[in-house]
Amino acid sequence: MRVFNCPSCGAPVTFHASVSVYAVCAHCQSMILCRDVGIEAFGKMATLPPDMSPLRIGAQGVLDGVGFALLGRLRIGWRDGAWNEWFMVTEHARKGWLAEAQGFFAACFEVPLEHDGQNLIDRDFATWKPKAGERVQVGDQTYEVADIKQTTCLGSEGELPFLANRGRQAVSIDLEGTARFASLEVYQKTGRLYQGRYVGWDELKLSNIRPLEGW
Amino acid sequence: MDTPGKPCVLKCPNCGGAVTLRAAGLSVSVVCQQCGSLLDVAREDIKLLEKAWQSKRTLLIPLGSRATLEGNLWEVVGYQARSSGSSKEARYAWDEYLLYNPRYGFRFLAQAEGHWTLYRVIKRGMPLPRGARFERFFDGQVRVDYVLGEFYWRVKKGDTVHVTDSIAPPYVLSVERDADEINTALGIYIPATEIAAAFQLDPNAMPKSRGVAANQPSPFSQRMPDVLRIAMWAVLVATLIQFGQAFFAANQLVYVETFDVDPETTERTHVSPPFTLHKGLANVCLESTAVLRNDWAELGVTLVNETTQEQRNLLQSMEFYEGYDGGERWHEGNNAASNCFSSVPAGQYRLVLDPDAGVFHKSQPGRQTFSERLYSDAPIWSNWLVLMLALLPYPLFLWLRHHSFEYTRWSESDYMPKVYAGIKNSLNGEDE
């Protein structure tokens, strides 16, 4: 855990996870980037619009017997709506995401696309124009492209493993495999692969959740 | 963000009225309850897509109503009226309420012809009910006719999707396709009384249930398998016991005699020679045959124990008539009779036979011939037959009611099973 003073307002800004490099000051909404040489503030993040999410930063839960905590949130918009991506870190310091969309929760973890310097995916992100239905090979797994969404970051809060400024544009590709599903995020010609599954509210045994009026 | 979550109240850009977003953050489209305008709330800015899009309509379950279903609390946030079929006769319309719980997501509560089904969206990898075998029931286009409240998808006017319904009552699996996506939902039938109680609706104001719903469980299907199984076992056990008894019965012939009775010349009463019954408490059966032609005969039978003088009685009646009438030969009656004494102790016995016959009462009385065969420990089928007659009607009744129910259900489907379709065709054939 690293604690800094916000360069803009002086309030303490905590980086709980070593993998976090970016945070939004909870006090003044300044965006803070953590570099080797120190921290740097640049611009302000607009407050996220009010919603009915039962999750919040600091909420804790259990996934497959391993505890995790929510550290930050991305609000992602696409053509027909928006969803939340909660940044989580497990007690084994594994970073993952808890997606909250259309009343469903899905937990996923990043899967490396490189192994011993070998590229595991048979696509070049610089030139690839994905189409629904095409087959993608990742290591020994075969996937089919199920859906392609152009996404825009609508805002963020808390700490995150990358700089997520408003307006950050990416392509989100849903992949369906025989055994599992995965999601590929292509941002500035680099791809990140996430594998996961749907999780039920009760299964997550969440604590320190957000109070909801009337619920 | 440490502020508690609460519904968002927006101002309708058209009428200025308050628009409540109960599923704020998830909702994409809202129809203003005051002016019926279609609003887009996918982003922070509210966009007015269409002014006064919908007329006002009073809903059976108003937006904002709450109810506990399947153990969780739900709030009504949206309503759609949907229909399939274009022609007036084939049109099938239903209500669909969108229910929301911030932790458990969304459910759809559909009402058609007074039958209610609660749907949940099924994502890839989610399990279906164990053992359910789904059968295709409906396949066709479904339209959105009316919308009110908020939705987590973009509502478009005249939205049409292709729907395929498969049933395994009380479940229905509904697959909806449009150009962009495929959605699967699993529904379960919920009795109207439960819905009325959950939403505290006046039971008398509920839509009257008509016909059989696609996924309505047959009221007989619950009992039928058990009843059929129990009946089958009972029949099997009774039949095994019966066959066992028949196989092990001694069926010993202890007395055979043919004799004539002529009231003019002989004594009417006929006494058999003594015979011994070896097996204790077995039955004793007498088969009598009278030589008859358009006449009747009776035998008063008394079985006498020679040691104790204990008596057992029974009466055997025989008759046989035949003739030729309207070009057809007919006959009726039976000139033989078989009756049993049950549980007769072992010992020395005689039969005392007291005959009467039609021929005795004629102006010129004649003689009557009787043939007797007496068996000890004979196999008896009558008890078994009575048991079968008692066992089978109820399962048969259930079976018929169940299939009548299923027939009514499938009458509404284009995918009627062949057996029912055959019945339907033959019924229609008779009508024409």
Quick: pLDDT tens for A15-61. Answer: 888 888 899 998 899 999 988 778 888 888 888 888 999 999 999 99
Which residues in chain B are classed under CATH 2.60.120.680?
Answer: 250-378
Separation CA B164–CA B184 (nearest Å): 10
Q: Is residue A9 part of a domain?
A: yes
Which of B5, B42, B73 is opposite residue A52, by nearest beta carbon?
B5
Check if B106 contacts A (Cβ < 8 Å).
yes
How far is A45 from A57, CA to CA, in rounded Å?
16
Mean pLDDT for B251-267 is 89
Per CB-CB distance under 8 Å, the chain B contacts of A213 are 4-7
Helices (H), B12-111: none
Number of domains in chain A: 1
Interface contact B71, partner A, CB < 8 A: no
How many Cβ atoms are within 10 Å of A118's Cβ, its own excluded?
A: 8
> At residue B16, what are phi and psi to the nearest 5 degrees?
80, 0
Q: Do B6 and A82 touch (CB under 8 A)?
A: no
Q: Write out residues 71-110 of A within 8 Å (CB-CB) of B.
A: 77, 80-82, 84, 101-104
CB contact under 8 A, B1 and A49: no
Which residue of chain B is at minimal alpha-carbon distance from A157? B1
Q: What is the pLDDT of residues B57-99, one digit of tens each?
A: 889 999 999 999 999 999 999 999 999 987 666 788 999 999 9
Would A65 be classed as within a structural domain? no
pLDDT digits (tens, 9 = 90+) for B168-199: 999 999 999 987 788 999 999 999 999 999 99
* pLDDT classification of B105: cutoffs 50, 70, 90: very high
Distance in Å, alpha carbon of B151 to nearest chain A alpha carbon: 10
Q: Give the pLDDT confidence score for residue B432 in this predicted structure.
A: 44
Give me the total of CB pairs closer than 8 Å, taking one residue from chain A and one from chain B.
102
Give residues with Cβ within 8 angstroms of B132, minimum separation 6.
B168, B171
Which residues from B are below 8 Å from A102, CB to CB? 26, 105-106, 121, 152-153
Q: How far is residue B30 from each of residues A212, B74, B272, measured CA to CA in Å? A: 21, 19, 102
> Residue B431: is its pLDDT beyond 70?
no
Answer with the residue of higher pLDDT: A124 or A212. Answer: A212
Q: Are B284 and B376 within 8 A, CB to CB?
A: yes
Distance from CA of A117 to the nearest CA of B (A): 33
Residue found by looking up tokens 């850009």 in the block: B13
User: Looking at chain B, which residue has its C-alpha nearest residue A71?
Assistant: B1
* Longest Cα separation, chain B: 124
**Assigned domain for A39 exists:** yes
- The CATH number of residue A16's host domain is 2.20.28
Please report residues of A whose CB lies closer than 8 A to that of B28: 80-81
For B24, nearest residue in chain A (alpha carbons): A51
In the beta sheet, which residues pair with residue B253?
B375
Residue A210 and residue B24 in contact, taking contact as beta carbons nearer than 8 Å: no
pLDDT in tens, B363-404: 888 899 999 999 999 888 888 899 899 988 999 999 999 999
Domain B250-378 classification at class level = mainly beta
Q: Is A195 contained in some domain?
A: no
What does the pLDDT average to over B282-308?
94
Element (H, E) at B406: helix B393-410
- The phi, psi pair for B261, rounded to 5°, reads -125, 120
Q: How far apart are CA B119 and CA B117, in angstroms?
A: 6
Question: Which pLDDT value is given to residue B157?
Answer: 67
Alpha-carbon span B24 to A49, nearest angstrom: 9
Sheet containing B252-261, strands listed edge to edge, beginning at the edge strand earlier in sequence: B252-261, B368-376, B282-290, B336-344
Say if B125 is an interface residue toward chain A (CB within 8 Å): yes
The domain containing residue A40 runs over which residues? 2-44
pLDDT of residue A179: 64
Out of B5, B28, B126, whose CB is closest to A80? B28
